[in-house]
Chain A
Amino acid sequence: MRGVIGLFRELDATCDAIAALKKRKIGEFTVYSPTPRHEIEHAIDKGPSAVRMFTLIGGLSGVTFGYWIAIWISDYWPLVVGGKAIASWIPYTVFGFEVMVLFGGLATVAGLFAMARFPRITHTVGYDNRFSYGDFGVWIEPSPDKMLEAEQLLRDAGAVEVRVER
């Protein structure tokens, strides 16, 4: 994919570029920042993350499995103690809880991988090592006729370096 990348030294300049991009609808864009910033999140305004659904489903699956495995084992191989229920839900709450946390936690990580689209095998275009160091970046994928407009937009917003990559 061909695109334009702009490197910014300042956070507010990056936010200006995002605001201008949203206003002029030049193309899809990706913002790079060395650390998560509320300002960038607000400027992009993409709404809540869907990771929460993975967490919920993982947690519910875990608590169900935790109770089920304990009850199934007790019924399959009964260890009978006089006057006591063979399968007792109160002690099995420990398993329900622990497996809920285990499945919920791992499902959260799976959700992160799925939603954030990583692990990535290779570095794609539109990345600069300085984005993990101290600088911000904006990568735009405009249509060919809007390439120059995208470059100009980034420069106007305060990009210290703008280049075309493919």
Chain B
Amino acid sequence: MATVTKPVEDVELLRRPNIPSADVRLPAVKDYEQVDDEITATLHPTVQWFIGLGVAITFLIIGALAWTYQIYTGLGVAGYNPPVMWGVYIVTFVFWIGIGHAGTLISAILYLFRAGFRTTIYRCAEAMTVFAVMTAGLFPILHLGRPWKFFWLIPYPNWRYIWPQMKSPLIWDVFAVLTYLTISATFLYIGLVPDLAILRDREKNPIRKRIFAQLALGWRNTDREWRHFVRAYLFLAAFSTPLVLSVHSVVSFDFAMSDVPGWHTTVFPPYFVAGAIYSGIGMVLTIMIPLRKWFNIKHYVTINDLDAAAKLALFTSLVVGVSYANEWFVAWYSGSPAEKQFFANRLWGQWWWASSLLYTCNICLPLSLFSQWCRRNTTWLFILSIFINIGMWFERFVIVVPSLSHEYEPWQWAGYRPTWVDYAILCGSFGWFSMWFLLFVKQFPVIALTEIKEIVKPRLKRRHATGVDVTAHPLPFMPDTPGEFD
């Protein structure tokens, strides 16, 4: 007897919403005009903003003065004493590179995975990336005795006929960081172009209007522009995704390619990448939580978005925790006395306080994010994000300084104490980063206007069946699980 297959009247299929709008909901946003009106309203400077900018510039000046003093006096004022010749500068370099990772992670990887919570926070994260990498890029230069010779790291035809050592991780680092900065800045700018066109069309001040017009490159929202823009943006995201993974892997090679105890380990690339994403998410939360309050954009950056970011922070915290455990295990299992002694010194010896701080901030406190209440409590999330930032700075400190202060020979066992110059330049880096970020948020929209409009339901002349677009085509993207986004 022939089996009669019932035709699939897929009611579920028709009920499914489109993916880009499915997993992020903005019920308080009614139409396209509201998006433009509310987000562009955040561009007007306020007194608090001027105060913040003033504080940032003050910090920057403190750092600049300390650097001037260091150049005049010599690198010795920065607290370096053999064998610890890498200290706060390299720690802070790795810290800022790590911060710079979340922007491209949120923007590129989450874009490829169609993670909806990306939409509302990615512009800030991308800007954070660019400014964090700009900040990080200063530190290898600050760390040079003759900073004006920094360009010797770049391979170019020169009168010295000397070329860089292409097998050195430090040269890989130059390529990786410069590529990352270029691609991240390009990604940010290309994503901004349609929004700049909106600002150009709405701006009343003729000078600002002219500037926006130049920056918008004559964008007109045509079908031709959108068709190629969407494809180009996808490819940039696809390039940026492995770039995120490569850059911090290359940074980790600065350490892992040496034979210093605590550094020479194969876990470093994934460990550094996970740590970078973790610290970046921490900084995104530090920035977004106050920003959504001050800019009155809580109905765009919703609690659900913060909850999703907190889950990502929890996940990367667990990965980082496993990496720490892996380090201890390998030190024990290697049978190397130098490794064992080094880890004992790091955990229970002279650096116990830094290790304890690191493990408390990076492993213990983030466990609270298993609780939904903690993930959705913005006060706790903000406090935790500060602890994550502190913890991640100390993670790099614990990697850099204890290793150099406890190598193989007893004469290589020493201490390290940063000086006021180190602290001043560290403050200066925060001032530099904050200054650029504060300038950015008052000149450009902190939330991508056109991408938010993709989420908002367009005005329709007629009623249409859900699951079928207005041209009666079935929707092109369907969730894997029926009802996944209901």
User: A and B from one assembly?
Assistant: yes
* A5 adjacent to chain B (CB < 8 Å): no
Q: A32-B220, A108-B236 are in contact. Are A97 and B469 (CB under 8 A)?
A: no
CA distance A49 to B172 in the complex (A): 34
Are B243 and A101 in contact (CB-based, < 8 A)? Answer: yes
Chain B residues closer than 8 Å to A59, beta-carbon distance: 239
* B372 adjacent to chain A (CB < 8 Å): no
Are A105 and B186 in contact (CB-based, < 8 A)? Answer: yes
CA distance A75 to B401 in the complex (A): 36
Q: A46-B227, A49-B227 are in contact. Are A104 and B217 (CB under 8 A)?
A: no
How many of chain B's residues have a CB under 8 angstroms from any CB in A? 68
Per-residue interface assignment for chain A, residues 3 to 30, with 1 indicating a CB less than 8 Å from any chain B CB and 0 otherwise: 0000001111101100100000000001
CA distance A10 to B194 in the complex (A): 20
Per-residue interface assignment for chain A, residues 50 to 74, with 1 indicating a CB less than 8 Å from any chain B CB and 0 otherwise: 1110010001000000000110011
Q: A11-B459, A40-B223, A105-B183 are in contact. Are A118 and B217 (CB under 8 A)?
A: yes
Chain A residues closer than 8 Å to B475, beta-carbon distance: 38
Closest to A157 in B: B461
Are A108 and B227 in contact (CB-based, < 8 A)? Answer: no
Q: A11-B470, A12-B470 are in contact. Are A98 and B179 (CB under 8 A)?
A: yes
* B232 adjacent to chain A (CB < 8 Å): yes
Per-residue interface assignment for chain B, residues 457 to 473, with 1 indicating a CB less than 8 Å from any chain A CB and 0 otherwise: 01111101000011101
CA distance A44 to B226 in the complex (A): 12
Instruction: List 14 A-B residue pairs with CB atoms under 8 Å apart, sorted by A's residue number.
Output: A10-B458, A15-B470, A30-B222, A32-B223, A33-B223, A39-B470, A51-B232, A55-B239, A73-B163, A104-B235, A108-B232, A108-B239, A120-B218, A127-B220
Chain A residues 83-101 with CB under 8 Å of chain B are 88, 91-92, 94-95, 97-99, 101
Are B31 and A134 in contact (CB-based, < 8 A)? Answer: yes
CA distance A55 to B231 in the complex (A): 10
Chain A residues closer than 8 Å to B36, beta-carbon distance: 133-134
Chain B residues closer than 8 Å to A158, beta-carbon distance: 461
Q: Which of B123-131, B195-203, B289-297, B373-381 contacts its partner?
A: B195-203
Chain B residues 169-214 with CB under 8 Å of chain A are 172, 175-176, 179, 182-183, 186-187, 190, 194, 197-198, 200-202
CA distance A40 to B222 in the complex (A): 11
**Which 10 pairs between the two chains have the least Cβ-Cβ distance?**
A120-B218, A134-B32, A119-B217, A12-B470, A35-B453, A49-B231, A112-B232, A129-B201, A11-B458, A31-B223
* B166 adjacent to chain A (CB < 8 Å): yes
Are B464 and A12 in contact (CB-based, < 8 A)? Answer: yes
Q: A12-B464, A42-B473, A118-B217 are in contact. Are A34 and B32 (CB under 8 A)?
A: yes
Chain A residues closer than 8 Å to B217, beta-carbon distance: 118-120
* B454 adjacent to chain A (CB < 8 Å): yes
Are A33 and B235 in contact (CB-based, < 8 A)? Answer: no
CA distance A102 to B180 in the complex (A): 8
In the complex, besides A12-B461, A77-B162, A133-B201, 12 extra interface pairs with C-beta distance below 8 angstroms are A12-B462, A36-B229, A36-B230, A49-B230, A51-B235, A98-B179, A101-B242, A109-B190, A115-B224, A115-B228, A133-B33, A134-B33
